[in-house]
Amino acid sequence: MKHIFAAITFLLVAFSASAQRFQLNISLSGDTAGVSKVLVQPLNAGSEAKPVALRHKNNAYAGSLRASELGLYSLIVVRNQSQLNVPFTLVSAEKAALDVKIEGALLFIDNTPDNAAFSALMADINSLDCSLWNHAALSPKDLKALVKGYVAAYDSISKLDGVTGHARDYMKVHAYARAYNAYSSIPRAQKISESAIPFSRSEVLPSPKDVFDNDYASLVYGVPQIIKSDFPASPSLYDKMAYLYSTYSSEAVREKVVVTLMSDFLSKYNYSDDFEGGLELIKSVTKEYSLPQVYVEAYMKRKSTIVGSPFPEDVELVDENGKKVDFSTFKGKYVYVDMWASWCNPCCKEVPHLQKLESELRNKDVVFVSISTDTDVKAWKNKMSELKMHGVQLLDSNNSLSNALNVKMIPFFAIYDKEGRLHTYGALRPSSGKKLKDVLEGLK
């Protein structure tokens, strides 16, 4: 990732590579009603910095930030439960102050040519997005012009006086990424099938490898998925990795796409079908491309999805009082596990069915255990009270059980046998009624 930024002088006079901290002050004006939070995220190639929430007083916000290695930041304003955002740069640590104007769903910063260009590009992109989603039955000609419009906006804005080359490079990646996303969104936005799109992506946009093989691409959300969508069709993780490393030279981009590829593999692999074969594959890929061992470790944890496997050892469950509960407590009983969360409507709709089943079941060898994935303990307790939930209620706030069982969606149900080993993966849900009741009554 170092070859692209070796010559950067853009803002680095003030912000050294030592990642110094500085104080940022932001003043908001315009449509500020409903603003609840202001955050700033430093943008660094190859690493993900968390957004920092700024302290608030009147319409002024302040906070301490670690300097971006690239001099690039993203401003995020949360207003009325929606997020407004715009990239920006800073002149120096001594002048780390911005006046930001909110107009509708847009943020405007105009203290430098770069920031004015970023704001203008985001405004044009927002306008194009609105046209795509709010104007039904656009003609093929208008749709094609709209997708091309994202790049056209960049071409025009990047030529404004005073815009630096590095700002142009970042804006180019951002504009192309939004254009690719717009093309992918046509079926949903225009309510047509994918096959009914009147032109191919290659007719309006270049191949992703011609746009995103640079470190700036690692800074833009969604780029790894766009890159992956252009891979040759192959079911093999090994083939996909080989294509990535032979086609893309940016280390930062490779790292982001690898995360996407490995996450897909870990979530979709059929561990019960060939666990050892998959393990050898991921070990081979990890070794050949010098990837972190965390991927092999994550794979090993998924062994818990195989029928007959013991309950995952490193899962920490606590009760309503915060007391740790060992799953071995239920040894000698079949355990029907309900994984849910307070924010999950389908989960909550299963609760009355679950409670009815628990009260009616005659088989005393079955115990019901509800395990919440909530990270907000208060929300968990409030929902249990609201739904009048009874029985064994436990919390897995770090989602360790979900990860070990490769749970893609909740509610999720499983049955463990009397020895604490997985009996049924993806069990029937309580709303299935008599079908599930008959299964549980038959457990001996």
**Would strands 366-372 and 334-340 be described as parallel, antiparallel, or unpaired?**
parallel
Task: Spell out the domains of the chain, with CATH numbers in brackets.
Answer: 231-305 (no CATH), 317-441 (3.40.30.10)
Residue 15 has a pLDDT of 40
C-alpha dihedral (174, 177, 183, 184), degrees to nearest 10: -130
Task: State residue 348 phi and psi, 5-degree precision.
Answer: -65, -30
Nearest in space to 121 (alpha carbons), one of 157, 151, 170: 157
Does residue 5 register a pLDDT over 60?
A: no
Residue 93 has a pLDDT of 66
Rounded to whole angstroms, the Cα distance separating 330 from 169 reads: 59
Judge contact between 43 and 74, C-beta under 8 A: yes
Residue 373 has a pLDDT of 94
Mean pLDDT in residue range 360-379 = 95
Residue 1 has a pLDDT of 37
Q: pTM of the entire structure? A: 0.80
Residue 19 has a pLDDT of 52
Quickly state the pLDDT bin for 240 (edges 50, 70, 90): very high
Q: What percent of the chain has pLDDT over 70?
A: 95
Rounded to whole angstroms, the Cα distance separating 369 from 106 reads: 47
Residue 35 has a pLDDT of 94
Quickly state the pLDDT bin for 385 (edges 50, 70, 90): very high
Q: For all residues of the chain together, what is the average pLDDT?
A: 91
Residue 422 has a pLDDT of 96
Residue 91 has a pLDDT of 78
pLDDT per position as a tens digit, 28-87: 999 999 999 999 999 988 667 889 999 998 889 999 998 988 889 999 999 998 999 999
Long-range contacts of 255-262 (CB under 8 A, 24+ apart): 255/46, 255/218, 256/46, 256/218, 256/223, 256/224, 257/224, 257/227, 257/228, 258/289, 258/291, 259/224, 260/224, 260/225, 260/228, 261/228, 261/237, 262/237, 262/291, 262/295
Cβ-based burial of 2 (10 A; exposed 0-12, middle 13-18, buried ≥19): exposed
pLDDT per position as a tens digit, 213-223: 999 999 999 99
Quickly state the pLDDT bin for 7 (edges 50, 70, 90): very low
Encoded amino acid at 345, one letter: N
Mean pLDDT in residue range 177-204 = 96
